């Protein structure tokens, strides 16, 4: 799998990725439609496709990351859509679509997880039994509506994965 050179992206480690997909598998969440926001190299969405997801949409505003995602899609033989745009534009344009898994991995310094969750809610992008998988700095304890979601948090050396499933 190709990755972007330099420190513009922070690829999810293989250990964390394996753990994420083991957890998703134990929840019965390996199939359906995937939205991969801040996709970087596309590794999370491509892993989901390799494990049974039916469709994936990759979003990254960095043209170099988009080129890497497209190379990785070709490398794996997957079929997917890739958008070179900001996450807000992608979420707005996806209104009316439903996703079973939404990967959210913004740059840690932005601290925009709450904003992203609210926009996904406003545009009703998460399917009824869908799950958001949010990778963030362990020091970032963002909030969400606990009446709407059941959460599961897993920490891996400064990185936390928060799983939010609809109640």
Amino acid 13: pLDDT: 81
Average pLDDT, the chain: 94
Res. 4: pLDDT tops 80: no
**The pLDDT value given to residue 94:** 96
Retrieve residue 38's tokens. Answer: 């801040």
pLDDT recorded at residue 110: 94
Containing structural domain, residue 136: 15-157
- Domains in the chain, number: 1
- Let me know if residue 139 belongs to a domain: yes
Structure tokens at 9: 């992206």
What is the average per-residue pLDDT within 18-45? 96
150's tokens = 């059941």
pLDDT score for 28: 92
Is 0.85 surpassed by the pTM of this model? Answer: yes
pLDDT at 9: 59
Question: Residue 7: inside a domain, yes or no?
Answer: no
Reply yes or no on whether the pLDDT at 19 is more than 70: yes
Q: What is the pLDDT of residue 8?
A: 53
Nearest one of 55, 51, 46 to 28, comparing CA atoms? 51
> Can you tell me the mean pLDDT for 57-66?
97
The answer to whether residue 167 sits within a structural domain is: no
Is 1 inside any structural domain? no
Alpha carbons 56 and 80: distance in angstroms, whole number: 5
DSSP state of 12: P
Of 78 and 1, the one with more pLDDT: 78
Is 82 contained in some domain? yes
The arithmetic mean of pLDDT across residues 63-85, rounded, is 96
Tell me, yes or no, whether 5 lies in a domain. no
47 belongs to a structural domain: yes
Query: Residue 50 pLDDT more than 90?
Result: yes
CATH of the domain at 130: 3.40.50.150
Exposed (0-12), middle (13-18) or buried (19+): which is 5, by Cβ within 10 Å?
Answer: exposed
In a domain, 3, yes or no: no
Q: For position 63, what pLDDT does the model report?
A: 97
């Amino acid at each position: 799998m190709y990755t972007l050179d330099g420190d513009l992206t922070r690829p999810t480690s293989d250990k964390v990725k394996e753990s994420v997909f083991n957890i998703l598998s134990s929840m019965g969440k390996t199939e359906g439609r995937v939205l991969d926001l801040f996709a970087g190299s596309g590794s999370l969405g491509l892993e989901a496709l390799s494990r049974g997801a039916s469709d994936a949409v990759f979003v990254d505003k960095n043209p170099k990351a988009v080129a890497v995602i497209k190379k990785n899609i070709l490398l794996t033989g997957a079929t997917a859509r890739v958008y070179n745009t900001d996450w807000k534009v992608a979420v707005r344009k996806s209104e009316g679509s439903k996703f079973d898994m939404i990967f959210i991995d913004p740059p840690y310094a932005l601290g925009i997880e709450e904003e992203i969750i609210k926009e996904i809610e406003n545009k009703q992008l998460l399917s009824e039994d869908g799950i958001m998988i949010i990778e963030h700095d362990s020091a970032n304890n963002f909030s969400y509506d606990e009446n709407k979601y059941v959460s599961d948090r897993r920490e891996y050396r400064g990185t936390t994965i928060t799983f939010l499933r609809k109640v």
